[in-house]
Structure 1
Amino acid sequence: MNILPIVINLAIAVVPVILAITLHEAAHGFAALALGDTTARDAGRLSLNPIRHIDPVGTIILPGFLLVTQLVLPPHRIFFMFGWAKPVPVSAFRFRDPRRGMALVATAGPLMNFFLAWVGALIMPSVLGPSVWSAGAQQFLIYFMLANIVLGLFNLLPIPPLDGGRIAVGLLPLPLARAWAQLERVGILIVLLAIFILPRLMGFDPLGAALDRVLPWAFRVIFWLAGQNVAGLDGASI
């Protein structure tokens, strides 16, 4: 049995997710440092080393579960990967305006993902070609863009502890912001229910349906911002 194609497919699917998650978290730390908080730097988390950002559930268990189930179930291909990293520590009290500071730090993560997707769109034309290498590079860049777009959009959901929830806390009037911040205790459970449990119970995945509509548009916008003609990117269209 030739395992090389399996290894290559795994790398193409997993490496983009690791890069997207790692740089997302690093962006939070650098944004906090720019606003005067050295907590992430002091903890050694201002690093592009993925090992320093590993979360047992979000970086290993959940992506591993998605990987295995997609490979085991027909059509035995990897279509989607998702996960998260260990949150970068931030001390909001070190900001001049803690609420606004946390909102800015939260914004940095999705912005990094959208920037990385844009970089992928910039690189795409340079790898187009008929060779096997070109096909693999195109697939890697598409997965890289997909991982970053999905991670960036997903984190903008206004549910603490997702970035969108923290942005909402920074923008809402103080009484409402305090109430909304309380969701952080159960926010991850709400997210997991919305992604994994409710779609199975209802037989309908609203988040997946929304992504199906938004992703093609997001790809077109990013290619457009990169000055690329999507229709002319043969083999790389979404």
Structure 2
Amino acid sequence: MNDIIQGIAIYALPVIFAITIHEAAHGYVAKYFGDPTAEKAGRISLNPLRHIDPFGTILLPLMLFLASKLLMGSGLLFGWAKPVPVDFNQLRQPKKDMLWVAAAGPGVNLLMAFFWAMVIKFGISVPDGIYAKPMILMGIAGIEINVILMVLNLLPIPPLDGGRIAVSLLPNKLAWKFAQIEPYGFAILLILLFSGGLSVILWPLITMTKQMLVVLFGLYI
């Protein structure tokens, strides 16, 4: 039980900020390219309370973490925040600018992974004490959740960010046809998740990204 409580304490902050800042980034970039919808809704904010979905941000990740910790001995995390409202038609160049709005979320997850890597680096460098180990563990959790969110959201399945990036890059006729997948995107994701296909696709990319961070920041613990 103590391990579970410690795990929740370590993962809580990285999970909340990974999910909420991801959403805020979409709103900020949409505003930059001409769509004020998120700003009017008060969603361009670093206040997590403006982005938290009670089920997707708190309840589901907590249930998954507890279940996987009890059954497998390792914490599994998955969740989402309230989607930031974006009206792509208000963007100055909707099809072109969609790419940057969509890429903003995974982009900030990568930046946050860099931040947590620096936290680990600092934790390694300080003398052993009561703060060093929690700092390192929270940094590991921060990298884990941000890399997973980044790679997952870059899958080319509408309405994931990768799907919107694909729509932006494809020629108009193909983009329109590809965008028709969006109503079925969540179902496709669930099928991949429960069939095991999602882990086959994601895990090599997640592992490669984490290894890159280890090498880049010299995180040899």
Report the TM-score, using the length of structure 1 for normalisation: 0.84
Q: Could you tell me whether the CA contact under 8 Å between 1:17 and 1:82 is conserved in 2?
A: no
Question: What SS does the corresponding residue of 2:180 show, helix, strand or coil?
Answer: helix
Code of the residue aligned with 2:203 in structure 1: it is D
> Unpaired segments of 5 or more residues in structure 2?
none
Partner of 1:62: 60
Q: Could you tell me whether the CA contact under 8 Å between 1:118 and 1:223 is conserved in 2?
A: no
TM superposition shift of 1:189: 1.4
Partner of 2:218: 229
TM superposition shift of 1:20: 0.5
Distance 2:151 2:117 in 1: 17
Distance 2:121 2:59 in 1: 35
Distance 2:54 2:183 in 1: 19
- Count of residues in correspondence between the two structures: 219
Post-superposition CA distance 1:131-154 (Å, at most 9, x none): 342111111101101111110010
Partner of 2:199: 208
Q: Could you tell me whether the CA contact under 8 Å between 1:121 and 1:145 is conserved in 2?
A: yes
Q: Could you tell me whether the CA contact under 8 Å between 1:13 and 1:81 is conserved in 2?
A: no
Q: Does 1:12 align with 2:10?
A: yes
Distance 1:132 1:177 in 2: 54
TM superposition shift of 1:220: 2.6
Partner of 1:141: 139
Root mean square deviation, CA, Å: 1.9
Q: Does 1:82 align with 2:73?
A: no
Partner of 1:171: 169
Tell me which of 184, 208, 211 is aligned to 1:220. Answer: 211
Post-superposition CA distance 1:156-199 (Å, at most 9, x none): 0000010000000111111111111111111111112211x22x
Distance 2:3 2:154 in 1: 35
Partner of 1:125: 121
Report the TM-score, using the length of structure 2 for normalisation: 0.90
Post-superposition CA distance 1:77-111 (Å, at most 9, x none): 42x21111111111112212111112210000000
Distance 1:191 1:29 in 2: 24
Distance 1:181 1:57 in 2: 27
The 4+ residue runs of structure 1 with deviation greater than 6 A are: none
Q: Taking structure 1 as reference, are residues 143 and 183 closer, same or farther at Cα in structure 2, changes over 3 Å only? A: same
Code of the residue aligned with 2:25 in structure 1: it is A
Q: Could you tell me whether the CA contact under 8 Å between 1:106 and 1:166 is conserved in 2?
A: yes
Distance 1:215 1:179 in 2: 29
TM superposition shift of 1:224: 4.0
Distance 1:223 1:73 in 2: 29
Code of the residue aligned with 1:174 in structure 2: it is N
Distance 2:55 2:158 in 1: 18
